[in-house]
Structure 1
Amino acid sequence: MTAVLSATVLAVVALATSTSAASSGATAGPQGLQRLAGAAIPFTPPPGAVFNRPSGTPEAKHRIINRIDSAIASTRRGSTIRIATWAIDIPKTTDRLVAAHRRGVNVRMVLNHKADSAQLRRLQRDLGTDIDARSYAVVCRNGCRGSQLAAMHAKFYLFSQAGRASKVVMVSSANLTQGGIFKGWNDLFTVVNNHRLYVGFRDVFTQMRTSQPAKTPYKIVTTPAGRFQARFYPRPGDGTRKTDPVYQDLTRVRCNGVRAGTGINGHTVVRVSMFYWTGLRGEVLARKLLALDNAGCIVKVIYGAPSPRVSAILRHRGKNDGIDVRDSRYDFNREGTVDERVHTKYMLVSGIFGTNRSASFVWTGSANWTKPSLRRADEVTLRIRSKGTHSHYLTNFRDAYRNGSRPTPYSN
């Protein structure tokens, strides 16, 4: 048993070290690929959340990509990897995908056609672009399942088998890019051995690969007892609040009378870490958060790319001293571009949600709070009902609050 554990630790450490040390370096080369294409490493993806820290240690920066790379390297011949992501530009991850294909793993990828890169072209050379073949790397021309005026923006990673786990679903805010490592705070949440959730993601991926609009693109998959709920966008609608799932979630939040064990001093707490937050939809959601704060909820926000109007709404002092708003944008070299900010898209609720007076929920995924993310783009949001998961995300929120953002001035 000790020997097996030691081998596992050594394999994962070796993989993590090579990825962290040279994520932007050259490819492995023929001999390196031959070595990688050998036996799968003894790694099993653990369930739950993992977060990177773009301003942290090399290990902290690479936590998410190392987890994905290790899962890829743990797949055995005959298993299937399915990846939907905006872009890929990391040679080491490409090496592992090509090696898995050569090992006999079915490697299937859907990406956005606007995010061209040397690594995408390499994957298309090695895996091909025939969706009827066992492996392929294809791009969606604008939307995959929805509007042809939108973009493929989903970020999920599926493994029929990885180590001792089967039916692995990973949902993330991170693409397979250098920016996801060094410039953005990101998250990755893993679910293992869950048949209903895995099949739901697999079926959506199968639709996405054809790059043809689906008759009913908005799809909800809920697991027994409602612990997990995946929402696949776009969500066609008339533009009203009734057809915005996020707004409807916020209408189920009540602020006062929380039972012990959740919330703060009897008040529900809503925390949002959101990258892109713009337009009329963004303004409506911002006003709803302000209304919750006025009603007695404790609302805390970290944003990465808000419109000026959304920022002004959030910073309005309101009835109870206003929302606690933090700006995560940093321009370290003062050249006029953002070097670091939150790229996460999650919301946490601790308190009253619906009829549950001691609820702990997390919503996370790829969807920004914009109209295109709701109505046109390929996106996914995973809702998790779990006090433990909420606690893990709360730790990340506090880290980004204290170490990756700064307060914004209020407006009256």
Structure 2
Amino acid sequence: MNGAWDMHNARSLARLATVARRSTVALTVAALGVAFAVHGAGPGADPGTASDVRQAARKVGSYTPVTGAIFNRPVGTRWQQVAIFRHVNKTIDSTPPGATIRMAVYSFAEAKTANKLIKADRRGVNVQILFNHHKEYGPEKRLIRELGTKRGKASFARFCEKSCRGEKGNMHQKVFLFSKAGSAENVVMVGSNNMTRNNAVNQWSDIYTVVGDPALYWTYAGVFDQMRQDRIQSHQFINARINSFGPEFYPNPSVVSQETDPMWQQLSQISCAGAAPGYGTPAFNPDGTPVLNPDGTQAHNTMIRLSHHAWNGDRGIWLARKVAELKRAGCDVRIVYGIGIGGAVKAILANNQIPMSSGATGKHTHQKVLFLSGVFAGNPASQVVWNGSHNWSDGALKRDDTVLRVEGPQAFSQYNANFEDMWANG
């Protein structure tokens, strides 16, 4: 996969999403070759939804989300368990009248979060929520009663019966979008967390927040606006390259083999030998002596870490074989796996002597995370994280899911620290 923006999809999203900040956004999307429609608006406004700003029901909070990762810790204190919920809830409280909240969440059972969303609507925030229809939780039904289901309104809450944009599957995203919160604008949150108690206390999850990137925000908002239509889209798989981010959106019915799988293609861009100094991990010979570069310094190999809830099926097998191939080529690979790992996948990984852990405390990963330090796409000094809601399974290809690729040392160090916590204490 070359990461280039599919211009057909760009034009489709441009028709769906309008941009609030002309001077900032127009320059950003012009550099991408994406022609979003632009309308003037006041601070905090979101002209993508027409509504009268209602009288504020209460004072708006001052919490300002920042770019970076947040993790819950199911083996920790209650405060640590609900860290992601707290981040989302405080952001809701800090969304001002006239702004828009968009959420697409597979499971939503948090009454506290539902209350905050209803209060936000009453103070003049446009609140738009999509759920999957596998189960009707009480807070979901309350939001539907309070906000209504008419997707043309400024506020609504509704189920997608199957995949919102595809023919089968389901709505499996965990995406939270805020046009403004505190002093931040264009807030994108992508992760593996459902809004349920089980997710907080029994599962390791993550959420990655990006603040102040209008092109990324409006790409996610555009896909959301396709999802709210709840009908099959002609171009379901969308991938883009936006600054240091690489968002992908499923379903992807075109995947029929490993060569057509976007994740397999990205794994194929990893090389194991030749990581730059300070990247990857030191390389050693079978006898324990260091592998040396021609200049006498110690060589480094690419480090790969995976934390996956569900990894199974034919697709899981070909991705496992690719990971095993990388291990045999010298990459330093470790895996935390969840309850959805398939027996064939687990056998492939184990037979290639890849260290694995499922957690010893009854808590399991719900993440869908891959990250590396070393050689990616020919760059020996890469640090890249893939997170989101997308499992490595056959079924995941049919679902509304997202993968967010994030490049840079901040995301890598945050996810690496979380992985080591899971490895030692999970």
What TM-score, normalized by structure 2, do the two folds share? 0.81
**How many Å separate the matches in 1 of 2:384 and 2:360?**
26
- Superposition pairs for residues 50-199 of structure 1, below 5 Å? 50-147=70-167, 149-199=168-218
The equivalent residue for 2:15 is: none
The equivalent residue for 2:253 is: 236
**How many Å separate the matches in 1 of 2:389 and 2:423?**
20
Equivalent in 314, 325, 329 of residue 356 of structure 2: 325
The equivalent residue for 2:389 is: 366
Gaps of 5+ in 1: 1-35, 332-339, 405-412
Could you say if the C-alpha distance between residues 329 and 123 of structure 1 is closer, same or farther in structure 2, counting changes exceeding 3 Å?
Answer: farther
What's the offset of the Cα at 1:238? 4.6
The equivalent residue for 2:269 is: 252
Could you say if the C-alpha distance between residues 238 and 367 of structure 1 is closer, same or farther in structure 2, counting changes exceeding 3 Å?
Answer: closer
Q: Paired residues, what number?
A: 353
| Code of the aligned partner of 1:292 | L
The equivalent residue for 2:411 is: 389
Query: Aligned residues: percent identity?
Result: 37
**How many Å separate the matches in 1 of 2:120 and 2:306?**
37
What is the alpha-carbon root mean square deviation over aligned residues?
1.1
The equivalent residue for 1:275 is: 309
Contact 1:86–1:115 at 8 Å: present in 2 too? no
| Code of the aligned partner of 1:77 | P
- Superposition pairs for residues 218-229 of structure 1, below 5 Å? 218-224=237-243, 227-229=244-246
Contact 1:348–1:362 at 8 Å: present in 2 too? yes
| Code of the aligned partner of 1:364 | N
The yes-or-no answer on 1:308 pairing with 2:315 is: no
| Code of the aligned partner of 1:272 | L
What's the offset of the Cα at 1:37? 4.0
**How many Å separate the matches in 2 of 1:384 and 1:234?**
21
Equivalent in 63, 69, 85 of residue 43 of structure 1: 63
What's the offset of the Cα at 1:330? 4.6
Contact 1:304–1:329 at 8 Å: present in 2 too? no
What's the offset of the Cα at 1:355? 1.3
The C-alpha deviation readout for 1:344-378, integer Å capped at 9, x for no partner, is: 1100111101110111000000001001212x100
**How many Å separate the matches in 2 of 1:238 and 1:112?**
23
What's the offset of the Cα at 1:115? 2.4
The yes-or-no answer on 1:209 pairing with 2:228 is: yes
What TM-score, normalized by structure 1, do the two folds share? 0.84
Contact 1:197–1:222 at 8 Å: present in 2 too? no
| Code of the aligned partner of 1:271 | R
1:300 counterpart SS class: strand
Contact 2:304–2:332 at 8 Å: present in 1 too? yes
